């Protein structure tokens, strides 16, 4: 790693999983995904010195968005030197902090070099203007609601969707359907509803993480003979985090064991009380096999457009979102998109993510060519020069040349925007983010080892608020921090807090890739104190912990002298003899301490790497079991934070 990148005080990044403090705290971003920029010897030498060179140019021009790191690279100044200058002005920042007007002003003076920020030469922003245009009331008409089915596996989502579809298509159409579509529109009598078929919750969440919220209503499918299951709860959390209303479809009512009332009672415990019992959640009983109740469900869903006042302007150019894209031999790029506003027609010029083109064919999702697609219509289009991604926005423009220009500029800007990844919320960065008025709520995914502490922490955290910002616990559960926790946190810009629990390896990897912060604690007071301090912008310097490696206990050997010797195998990274260790059983931390001995065969060793066997004895702790994981923890003193506290206490 080249000097100067490590200003947050952490050690060089390694492939091992991040620990407390999470990846958000140390070197956010995708490890290894970008080759480091080659620096000249001169620049490298200079960056090793923590001083501002006196031979800087009079001015430097950077294209927005630019960070402190970009400035450091452009001028060959060590990042800590820049951060220190800011701290002298009482301004907390990190290497990824954007160059705001205030920061730019301070630094321009401090380093005696004018920092000029240029608007990126992308016309894309003019597209977002299109989203913001306010339509006149007389142009607006009601549009059909867009619905996503979610629920536990095997509760009948696919069967229900197929039945709905079957009941609504005419015979002539059915011949044309050859493949599974990611969306379709049902027009049956007065009922108009669009169904978006996102396999599992992952698609719903990852679309949302990209800022694309196409769903107006979530239909939660719950089997009448089974009741709410873990994925049902997960679906509820996702829908709530996205502020999307839920309609419950109690499915499989044809089954002998069906007990809809019991299901309703169980759902009421999850804060989904049925309307008939005085609650606010509509619950309809259906069968995906016999078709019973499906007309009522469609009818109810179609009413949502009035209830939710879903309106759009069919008179303007189309705006939509990509649901799916594939390359087809013969047809070129085939894109499934949902038209959300305006009307799309064959021949329209469109720009869509990095792609552009004129609509060559416009088909309904049942395969028929259509001459127009009004709001709330899923369509299949061809004619684009490239494949966009699910979640990319589609805009029709009057001017084909402009569409081309925007798409080309977007492609050039892509490399740059990859770098300026979405800035994630971290506890340390929280106050800064609040400062920039981006956050009004701090979302937390909370996992604990037992229900008792879960309830206490959930209540205490939920009650925390200052004038500007409140805490919102979007998921609270018992057990290890899982991949799905990270997914939810990513989509909701949440911080994951683990109390007496750790993250699974997969969850850690996912967190590292997505830049989600995981913080783990052993003392309730610390959780509350750090969160409160973060809210107040006074987070005290804390010592971060990073998991360097882990080993798994395979076998126990009893020794009359030493107690239990654990025969282990290295699972990830490196376990170091003298570092702190954490004993984890089923994702729950059962002990923290040190090792008494670490041996390979008969020799004492300093460390054990992934794949190697070893024998360990834990100091003062004998209750080890096969299957337990021992994690090696490095304490990382983040000097930046100590500096910060000093400057604050002065």
Rounded to a whole number of angstroms, the minimum distance from the CB of residue 488 to ligand GDP is 20
Transcribe 44-76 into DSSP letters: HHHHHS-S--S---SEEEEESS-BHHHHHHHHT
Is 87 in contact with 649 (CB distance < 8 Å)? no
* Nearest approach, Cβ of residue 308 and ligand GDP (Å): 25
**240 near ligand GDP, rule: CB under 6 A:** no
Tell the residue number behind the tokens 């040190």, with chain if given.
Answer: 594
User: With CB under 6 A as the contact rule, which of the stretches 53-61, 154-162, 573-581, 588-596 interacts with ligand GDP?
Assistant: 154-162
HSE, side-chain direction, 13 A CA sphere, residue 310 = 25
CA distance 216 to 194: 10
b/e for 459-482, b at 16 or more Cβ within 10 A? ebbeebeeeebebbbbbbbbbbbb
Is the Cβ–Cβ distance between 297 and 285 less than 8 Å? no
Contact flag: residue 232 with ligand GDP (CB under 6 A):
no
* Identity of the residue, 197 or 282, whose beta carbon is nearer to ligand GDP in the bound complex: 197
Residues 480-519 that bind ligand GDP (CB under 6 A): none
CB of 120 to ligand GDP, least distance (A): 43
From the list 111-119, 183-191, 252-260, 265-273, the region that binds ligand GDP by CB under 6 A is 252-260
Q: β-strand 311-312 against 319-328: which pairing, if any?
A: unpaired
Compute the least distance from the CB of residue 151 to ligand GDP, in Å: 6
Residue 155 near ligand GDP by CB under 6 A = yes
156: contact with ligand GDP by CB under 6 A: yes
Asked if residues 73 and 5 have their Cβ atoms less than 8 Å apart, the reply is: no
Shortest Cβ distance from residue 223 to ligand GDP (Å)? 7
How many angstroms separate the CA atoms of 617 and 550, rounded?
15
Q: Is 202 in the site for ligand GDP (CB under 6 A)?
A: no
Is residue 118 close enough to count as binding ligand GDP by CB under 6 A?
Answer: no
How far apart are alpha carbons 130 and 623 in whole angstroms? 64
Residue, CB closest to ligand GDP:
156
Query: Cα torsion at 58, 64, 70, 75 (round to 10°)?
Result: -10
Binds ligand GDP by CB under 6 A, chosen from 13, 20, 252, 410: 252
End-to-end CA distance of the chain: 34
Minimum gap (Å) between residue 258 Cβ and ligand GDP: 9
By CB under 6 A, name the one of 159, 231, 259, 372 that touches ligand GDP: 159
CB of 550 to ligand GDP, least distance (A): 34
Least gap, CB of 199 to ligand GDP (angstroms) = 9
Examine residue 180 and tell whether it contacts ligand GDP (CB under 6 A): no
Stretch in the footprint of ligand GDP (CB under 6 A) among 106-114, 155-163, 444-452, 601-609? 155-163
Binding region for ligand GDP (CB under 6 A) out of 153-161, 237-245, 354-362, 513-521 = 153-161
Q: With beta carbons less than 8 A apart as the criterion, state whether 388 and 353 touch.
A: yes
Q: How far is C-alpha 413 from the geometric centre of its chain's CA atoms?
A: 22
Nearer to ligand GDP, 135 or 254 (CB): 254
**Closest of 622, 641, 605, 504 to residue 558, by C-alpha:** 622
Q: Which is nearer to ligand GDP, 288 or 587 (CB)?
A: 288
Any contact of residue 228 with ligand GDP (CB under 6 A)? no
Whole-angstrom distance, CA of residue 426 vs CA of residue 23: 9
What's the rounded Cα separation, in Å, for the pair 245 and 281? 9
Size of the site for ligand GDP (CB under 6 A): 15
13 touching ligand GDP, by CB under 6 A? no
User: Alpha carbon of 236 to those of 4, 231, 325, 648: distances in Å?
Assistant: 45, 8, 28, 42
Least Å from the CB of residue 480 to ligand GDP: 24
> Is residue 154 a contact residue for ligand GDP (CB under 6 A)?
yes
Return the closest-CA partner of residue 539 out of 16, 23, 25: 25
Alpha-carbon distances, residue 171 vs 175, 176, 295, 368 (angstroms): 7, 10, 19, 13
- 157 makes contact with ligand GDP (CB under 6 A): yes
Q: Is 22 in the site for ligand GDP (CB under 6 A)?
A: no
What is the closest distance, in whole angstroms, from the C-beta atom of residue 302 to ligand GDP in the complex?
21
Determine, following the binding rule CB under 6 A, whether residue 251 of this chain makes contact with ligand GDP: yes
C-beta of 336: minimal distance to ligand GDP in Å? 20
| Token representation of residue 231 | 């994925």
Residue 273-302 contact track with ligand GDP, rule CB under 6 A, x = bound? --------------xxx-------------
Select the residue interacting with ligand GDP from 188, 255, 404, 571 (CB under 6 A).
255
* Residue 462 binds ligand GDP (CB under 6 A): no
Nearest partner of 531 among 464, 580, 617, judged by Cα: 464
Binding site for ligand GDP (CB under 6 A): 151, 153-159, 251-252, 254-255, 287-289
């Amino acid at each position: 790693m080249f000097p100067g990148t490590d200003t947050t005080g952490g050690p060089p990044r390694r492939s091992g999983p991040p620990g407390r403090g999470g990846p958000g705290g140390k070197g956010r971003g995708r490890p290894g995904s970008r080759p480091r920029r080659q620096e000249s010897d001169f620049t490298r030498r200079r960056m090793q010195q923590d001083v501002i060179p006196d031979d800087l140019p009079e001015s430097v021009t950077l294209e927005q968005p630019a960070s402190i790191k970009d400035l450091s690279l452009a001028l060959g100044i060590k990042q800590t030197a820049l951060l220190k200058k800011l701290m002298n002005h009482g301004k907390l920042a990190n290497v990824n902090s954007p160059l705001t007007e205030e920061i730019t002003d301070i630094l321009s003076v401090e380093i005696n070099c004018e920092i000029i920020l240029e608007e990126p030469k992308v016309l894309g922003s003019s597209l977002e203007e299109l989203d913001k245009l306010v339509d006149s009331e007389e142009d607006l008409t009601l549009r059909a609601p867009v619905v996503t089915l979610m629920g536990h596996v095997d509760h009948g989502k696919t069967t229900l969707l197929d039945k709905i579809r079957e009941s609504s298509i005419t015979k002539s159409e059915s011949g044309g359907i050859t493949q599974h579509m990611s969306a379709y529109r049902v027009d049956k009598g007065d009922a108009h509803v669009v169904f978006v078929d996102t396999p599992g919750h992952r698609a719903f969440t990852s679309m949302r993480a990209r800022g694309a919220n196409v769903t107006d209503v979530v239909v939660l499918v719950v089997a009448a003979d089974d009741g709410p299951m873990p994925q049902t709860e997960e679906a509820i959390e996702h829908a709530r985090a996205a502020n999307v209303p839920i309609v419950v479809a109690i499915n499989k009512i044809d089954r002998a064991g069906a007990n809809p009332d019991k299901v309703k009672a169980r759902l009421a415990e999850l804060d989904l009380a049925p309307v008939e019992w005085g609650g606010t959640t509509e619950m309809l009983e259906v069968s995906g096999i016999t078709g019973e109740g499906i007309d009522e469900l469609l009818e109810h869903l179609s009413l949502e457009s009035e209830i939710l006042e879903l309106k759009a302007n069919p008179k303007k150019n189309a705006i939509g979102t990509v649901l799916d894209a594939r390359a087809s031999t013969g047809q070129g790029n085939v894109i499934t998109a949902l038209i959300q506003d305006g009307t799309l027609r064959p021949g329209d010029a469109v720009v869509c993510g990095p792609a552009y083109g004129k609509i060559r064919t416009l088909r309904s999702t049942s395969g028929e060519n259509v001459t127009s697609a009004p709001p709330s219509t899923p369509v299949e289009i061809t004619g684009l020069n490239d494949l966009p991604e699910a979640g990319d926005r589609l805009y029709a423009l009057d001017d084909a040349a402009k569409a081309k220009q925007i798409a080309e500029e977007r492609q050039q800007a892509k490399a740059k925007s990859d770098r300026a990844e979405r800035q994630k919320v971290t506890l340390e960065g929280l106050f800064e983010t609040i400062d920039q008025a981006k956050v009004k709520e701090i979302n937390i995914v909370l996992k604990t080892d037992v229900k008792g502490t879960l309830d206490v922490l959930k209540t205490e955290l939920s009650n925390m608020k200052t004038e500007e910002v409140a805490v919102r616990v979007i998921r609270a559960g018992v057990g290890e921090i899982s991949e799905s926790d990270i997914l939810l946190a990513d989509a909701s810009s949440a911080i994951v807090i683990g109390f007496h629990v750790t993250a699974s390896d997969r969850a850690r990897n996912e967190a590292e890739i997505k830049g989600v912060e995981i913080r783990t604690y052993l003392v309730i007071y610390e959780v509350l104190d750090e969160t409160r301090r973060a809210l107040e912008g006074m987070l005290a310097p804390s010592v971060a912990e990073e998991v360097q490696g882990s080993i798994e206990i395979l076998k126990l050997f009893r020794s009359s002298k030493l107690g239990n010797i654990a025969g282990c195998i290295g699972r990830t990274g490196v376990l170091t003899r003298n570092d702190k260790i954490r004993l984890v059983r089923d994702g729950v931390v059962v002990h923290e301490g040190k090792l008494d001995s670490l041996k390979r065969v008969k020799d004492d060793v300093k460390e054990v790497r992934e794949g190697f066997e070893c024998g360990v004895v834990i100091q003062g702790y004998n209750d080890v079991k096969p299957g337990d994981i021992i994690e090696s923890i490095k304490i990382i003193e983040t000097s930046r934070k100590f500096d910060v506290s000093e400057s604050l206490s002065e």
